[in-house]
Structures are given as C-alpha cells and as structure tokens.
Homo-oligomer: A and B are copies of this chain.
Amino acid sequence: MPQETTAAATTTRVPATELQDFIARTLAAVGMPEADARVVGRIMAEADARGADAHGIFRLPPYVKRIRAGGMNMRPDIRVVKERAGSALLDGDNGIGHLIMKKAADLAVQKARNTGVAWVGARMSNHAGPAGIYARMPLEHGMVGIYMAVGSANHMPPWGGTEMLLSTNPIAIAVPGHTRPPIVLDMATTNAAYGKVKAKAQRGEMMPEGWMVGRDGKPLLDPKRSSEGFLLPIGGAKGYGLAMMFGLLAGTLNGAAFGKDVVDFNQDYASTTNTGHTVIALDVEAFMPLREFEEQVDDIWAQMKSSPMLPGWDEIRLPGEQSHRTYEERMANGVPIHAELRAALDALAQSVNVAPLGA
C-alpha cells in the first residue's frame, strides 16, 4: 500500500471500498443486520471519500461504543408515523442515523416525483454523518436536495447568553449541474464546527479569533480550554437565528430533541439521543426542463469563476467544488488514513473479532 509521510504521522491510502467493507463487517459483528451494515458502510465511506474526515470511518469507534452501551437499536423498526402526499414523519426507533436518513431521502424523492416537493422529517434517530451526503441523494433523480439537522451536542448559547442550548445545527443544499459538478453547500451555523476545534487541539495549534469565546465574552484561542467557552455563530445574531430555526424545524416539529433535551453524544453513550433531521426533495421538472436548468447552473458556475479576484487569491470556488475534487482524487488514489486512526481501527477490529482494515 502506498505510504505518505506527513509532519504529524504516517498516512496510508486505503481504497474507499475497503473502508466500506471494514465498516460493514464491524457493524455486523456488533449485531447490525448485514444488509443494513452494508448501507451504512457505503454512506460512511462516501463521507470519507468526499473529504468529510470527521464524519466517516473516524466515527466508527464511538458508534460501536454507543452500540455496546445499549445506546442504539440494531434492529430498528423504522416506520412512517404521519404522512401526506408531499410529507412524512419517520420514527427511527433509535436506529443509526444513516439508515433512517437514507430512507427519508428515498421517500422524499418518491413523493416529490408526484407533488413537485416533499418534506420528510425524522425523530428517534442518531448521528448520520455529513449533511451534504443526504442533500446529494436527490441529485441523481434530477432533483434539488436540502437537509437540516439538530447537531448531536450543544456547543452554543443563544446570542448574548452563556448556557449551551444550541448545537452547530447544519444545513446542506445540493443543486445539479450539467457538465459541471453539482453546487453543494454543506455548512454548520457556527464559524467553526466543533470537530475543527478538536483537530486544532490535537495538533497543538491556537484557534483564530472568531471561533470561540469564553464565558466572559472574550476571545478564547486555546483549543485545549474549549470546555470553558463556546462556539460563535456566523454573522452573530443571524447564525444564532439560523441554528434556532433549523432546530425548530428538524427537531421540535419532528418530535425530536432540541434545546435542553439534546444529549451530548460525546459524553453519554447510553441514553437515547432522539436526534431529529429533515430531508427535502424538489423536482426540477416541476419548474423547468432539467437539462435547461442544469445548463443555467453551469452558466452561473462560469460567471462566478470568471470574476476578477482580490489580491492574494488564485481561485474562486463554488460551494462543494473542493469536496468534488477530493472525491475524484480519493476514488483514484484511496482515502488517507492517519496512523493514529488506523491504530484505533485495528484495536476495534481486534475487540469485535473481525479482519482489520485493508486485510
């Protein structure tokens, strides 16, 4: 296997299919039905391939920890509890989020084919990986996808407050292009996602101003002291407002946790998280011929690319463009796995008695 030496660690490249297989056999070994484990393996490996390193195989050890603690149901009865022609509410029966949101996206696509738009929410779910994965699902059906979620731990107070009542509640929106890649926004409503803070701490680096403040309202720059402060929303009160509305729509409206009820999935592995998410599918053909729309999206892409640049810039990027490049590169060359992560995965393999990654 090819090896790269980085400043921090030895990194090996592993084909995405091997990540997928390893995830599937590990989850099967701790009780997940094999067909389900394969679906989750494919989605998690796609997260890695698309560059969402903090949302792919990196999450497998904590998922297994939760499963062993009894915090997640391995044989959930994922069912529709409310339904209209263009809407549905799923109860995930405390299953893993990936399975529930795959089902939600499939149902939204099926409904939107008739009604033009469909809104499918889920409660009693769990962490599902990166938002963009689910927003992308309607793309191959000629549809726009939108995804919102309540984050799995509160790291932000209301604007002006100090009590952690809000998460980084993300949104993703995916729009298809024709010869260009789709335009895909995938963002937390905070300036930095919490995973980025953890990464800074691991590397022993300071955070830039604007990521976090302490309970005194002053900038907090040392990521090792992150528990003493909280994340800042984008645009101040505006990002707080976005996190609030996504929480109400993906959490409260679905009968899922929001506010004080959110369980910190990094601290508590046994309690039911009752995570809420929502997927919207919008059929382009309900508005204009798909080909015509895709060509116009390509034109917008070209307009943005051809703008003159600010001093010091060498490229204007469209939302999702970097992730698309990472995907092409990683599908060709494999996903980089740091030695530290590999060690954790090897230990996991041994503990559940499956063949290690890439074996």
Contacts and interface: CB of A to CB of B under 8 A. Distances in A.
B86 A115 contact: yes
A316 interface: yes
B185 A286 contact: no
Contact of A115 (B85, B160, B185, B296): B85
Interface in A42-72: none
Contact of A183 (B187, B248, B311, B315): B248
Given A241-B185, A287-B254, A165 B319 contact: no
A160 B163 CA distance: 35
Contacts of A303: 165, 259-260
Count identical subunits in the complex. 2
Secondary structure class of chain A's binding surface, majority of residues: mixed
Interface in A184-207: 185, 187, 191
Interface in A250-274: 252-255, 258-260
A130 interface: no
A307 interface: yes
A287 B287 CA distance: 26
Contact of A288 (B116, B253, B297, B300): B253
A39 to B, nearest CB: 26
B157 A300 contact: no
Given A161-B307, A185-B244, A318-B244, A85 B86 contact: yes
Interface in A209-250: 215-217, 234-235, 237-242, 244-245, 247-249
Identify the 3 closest CB pairs spanning chains A and B, nearest first.
A87-B116, A234-B235, A161-B307
